[in-house]
Every structure is written in structure tokens, then in C-alpha cells.
């Protein structure tokens, strides 16, 4: 720590404050200290820190997988937010399985972490009681399950999907497919995004055509988007718009449309959801819904940090759990005609 202090031109106490996540430090000072940490390869003795302060300065992040672009980019945002707070992050991919998610909640190394940011995909609302017995700060992400006893950060799924569908309706599209329907899901993002799609159609007096429902085999990957698009085109060749429940599905759908000789957006306009980096570089560039991923990461880390600072055990005297909805916006690109 003294070596880091000399390299950064600050006191040892300042280095300690930065690495402990003390909030009242200039950004330039924090950046200088963290740069010195990286240059010198300084590693914190986590066990010693826990014995000394009762905190490790480490938080956990449990997400279904990192191969799906949204979760990979969310993890990057959470890592960056945690770094600004002087925190380290251990990432646990749960594999979209109930066993993986339960293990993430009770993992033996949980004792080395101050708190957990958890995005469930396999656990359902009936499992919410499992969260009541946890004795560490927990922030839930997503819409798969809710609990009145834990903090929650989520996105505006219904509003986002309705805005995406409204965009297509505004440019004259009427036979709008929706991709990402899941057979097994009773809650979560798919149900909410479908509700937004349906609301937009109903507001214009348009009935839902079941031929335009694209099923995704319980996974939102590119190949599932291509298969769902193929099935919709076979059932309803005159489709003229697509709302995909995530950008990976949308990119797969655009591939299938182009293979079949459909021009985008002249013949079929396409809107995705998530605003991943690939959306900006697809051909054509994908119009999509930005659900506030960076805001979600910032707020989730801030809540965990605040709960740790409170130093209170769950079930004791603590502030009421937070329910936070991030902002959203539609990012219009080349895959849809411009609205007047």
C-alpha cells in the first residue's frame, strides 16, 4: 500500500480510503490511485481485510450467462461502477438453471463478499421466500421474481416494447411479428414485453394475429431469432414489421429476412431491445430500445454499497427496500424508416 501511495503521490491513508470505497474522494485522486494499483499489481488481502473491518470490499454478480450480449455488457457496466466505488466484483454465471441460481445464493465463498447483485432466470415468484433467509445485502435485477423484503432494480419492459411497436405502427406497418415468445415462462421479460406489444396493437384497433407470434425455444440467441423469423414468414409471408424481444433475436431475424430476399426496412422494418454494441454495427444498423443498462448497473452497485455502509443485518432496523425503474428510450437507426 505504501508503494501504491508513492506511485500515486498520495498518503497511505488515501490509498486505504480509495480501496475501502470511501465516497468523499476526488475522482482524479481515485483514478490516480487505481491506476497505480494496476501498474504495480497490488492485491488486497481479503481475509485480513475481513478480520480487520468486517468487510471485504468485494461484491458478487450472478447472471444467467456472459455469452448473451446483454449480460456481458451489463457485467462490464457493473464492473466499471464498482471500480468507481472502490469495490471488486466476483462474477458467477448461473447457466439459466435453478441449481446454478440456488448455488449462487448460498455459495461457500459468499462469506468473502459484502453483498450480491442477482439476476434470476430460472427461479420463479414462488421461490421468493428463499430470499428472506439471506443475511447479506441483495439487489435483484430483472422481472423473473419480486420480493418485498429485498432491493430491486429493473427496466420498463412494457413501456419499451410498446414504444417499439408504436414506432412501426407510426411508419405504416400493420402486420407486425413479435419474436421471443417463451413456452415455459409465466413471468419475466417475455411476458411483459408481449404485453407492451399487445397494448400498442389494441390501442390502434388491431387484433393480435397468432401467425405473427415467433417462439424462441426458451432462449434469446441469434439462431432462435432466425428460426422464429422463418416460422413466421412461412405462416404469414406478408409480414411487414418485426419487434424482437432482444437484439440478438433481431439480428438473427434480419439474417433470415435477407436470406429470403426481403429488404430492410423497405419490405420489413425491424426493432430490437437492449441496445447492445452489435446493434450499432449490424447491416443495416438496428433500431432498438435502450432499457437504461448503465443506469441499472450504477443504481444496483450504489444500493449494495449503501446497504453495506449501513452495517445492518437483514431483518433488523433498516431502510425500506428500494424498487427502482430505470429510464428507457428508442434508438432509431437504419432498420426502420424515419418517423416524420
What are the domain boundaries of the chain?
1-43, 55-155+293-325, 157-290
pLDDT 10s per residue in the chain (340 long)? Answer: 899 999 999 998 898 888 766 667 888 998 999 899 989 988 766 555 554 555 678 999 999 999 899 999 999 999 999 999 889 999 999 998 999 999 999 865 566 789 999 999 999 899 999 998 788 899 999 988 999 899 999 999 999 999 999 999 999 999 999 999 988 655 589 999 999 999 999 999 999 999 999 999 778 999 999 999 999 999 999 999 999 999 999 999 999 999 999 999 999 999 999 999 999 999 999 999 999 999 999 999 999 999 988 864 444 456 789 999 999 999 999 999 998 7
DSSP 229-255: HHHHHHH-TT--EEEESSHHHHHHHHH
- Here the cell at position 245 is 424481444
Torsional sign, CA 136, 328, 73, 71:
positive
Name the DSSP class of 323: E
Model pTM greater than 0.85?
A: no
Question: Is the preceding peptide bond at 284 cis, omega within 30 degrees of 0?
Answer: yes
- Here the cell at position 317 is 432496523
Q: Name the fold adopted by 157-290.
A: Rossmann fold (3.40.50)
Which helix (H) or strand (E) is 223 found in, with range? helix 222-235
Domain range 1-43, CATH class: mainly alpha
Domain with residues 55-155+293-325, CATH architecture: 3-Layer(aba) Sandwich (3.40)
User: How far apart, in whole angstroms, are the C-alpha atoms of residue 336 and residue 313?
Assistant: 50
Q: Which residue carries 412501426 as its cell?
A: 168
Question: Is the preceding peptide bond at 265 cis, omega within 30 degrees of 0?
Answer: yes
Name the DSSP class of 176: E
Residue 239 near residue 175 (C-beta atoms within 8 A):
yes
User: How far apart, in whole angstroms, are the C-alpha atoms of residue 47 and residue 301?
Assistant: 22
Pairing of strands 176-181, 213-215: parallel
User: How far apart, in whole angstroms, are the C-alpha atoms of residue 159 and residue 326?
Assistant: 11
> One fold for both 55-155+293-325 and 157-290?
yes
- Here the cell at position 157 is 419492459
User: How far apart, in whole angstroms, are the C-alpha atoms of residue 80 and residue 22?
Assistant: 16
Name the DSSP class of 321: P
Amino acid at each position: 500500500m505504501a508503494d501504491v501511495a508513492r506511485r500515486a503521490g498520495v498518503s497511505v491513508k488515501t490509498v486505504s480510503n480509495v480501496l475501502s470505497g470511501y465516497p468523499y474522494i476526488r475522482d482524479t485522486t481515485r483514478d490516480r490511485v487505481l491506476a497505480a494499483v494496476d501498474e504495480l499489481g497490488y492485491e488486497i488481502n481479503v481475509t485480513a481485510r475481513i478480520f480487520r473491518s468486517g468487510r471485504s470490499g468485494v461484491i458478487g454478480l450472478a447472471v444467467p450467462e456472459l455469452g448473451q450480449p446483454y449480460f456481458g455488457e451489463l457485467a462490464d457496466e457493473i464492473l466499471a461502477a464498482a471500480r468507481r466505488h472502490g469495490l471488486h466484483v466476483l462474477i458467477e454465471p448461473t447457466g439459466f438453471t435453478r441449481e446454478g441460481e440456488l448455488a449462487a445464493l448460498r455459495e461457500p465463498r459468499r462469506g468473502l463478499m459484502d453483498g450480491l447483485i442477482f439476476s434470476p432466470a430460472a427461479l420463479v415468484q414462488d421461490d421468493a421466500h428463499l430470499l428472506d433467509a439471506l443475511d447479506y445485502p441483495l439487489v435483484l435485477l430483472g422481472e423473473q421474481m419480486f420480493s418485498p423484503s429485498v432491493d430491486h432494480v429493473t427496466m420498463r419492459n412494457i413501456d419499451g416494447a410498446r414504444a417499439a411497436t408504436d414506432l412501426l405502427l407510426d411508419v405504416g406497418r400493420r402486420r407486425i411479428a413479435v419474436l421471443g415468445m417463451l413456452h415455459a415462462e409465466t413471468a419475466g421479460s417475455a411476458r411483459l414485453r408481449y404485453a407492451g406489444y399487445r397494448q400498442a396493437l389494441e390501442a390502434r384497433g388491431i387484433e393480435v394475429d397468432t401467425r405473427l407470434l415467433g417462439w424462441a425455444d426458451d432462449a434469446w440467441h441469434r439462431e432462435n431469432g432466425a428460426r422464429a423469423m422463418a416460422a413466421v414468414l412461412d405462416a404469414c409471408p406478408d409480414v411487414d414489421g418485426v419487434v424482437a424481444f432482444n437484439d440478438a433475436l433481431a439480428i438473427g431475424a434480419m439474417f433470415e429476412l435477407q436470406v429470403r430476399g426481403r429488404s430492410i426496412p423497405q419490405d420489413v422494418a425491424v426493432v430490437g431491445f437492449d441496445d447492445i454494441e452489435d446493434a450499432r454495427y449490424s447491416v443495416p444498423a438496428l433500431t432498438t430500445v435502450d432499457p437504461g443498462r448503465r443506469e441499472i448497473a450504477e443504481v444496483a452497485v450504489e444500493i449494495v454499497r449503501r446497504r453495506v455502509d449501513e452495517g445492518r443485518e437483514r431483518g433488523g432496523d433498516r431502510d425500506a427496500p428500494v424498487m427502482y425503474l430505470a429510464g428507457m428510450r428508442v434508438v432509431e437507426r437504419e432498420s426502420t424508416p424515419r418517423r416524420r
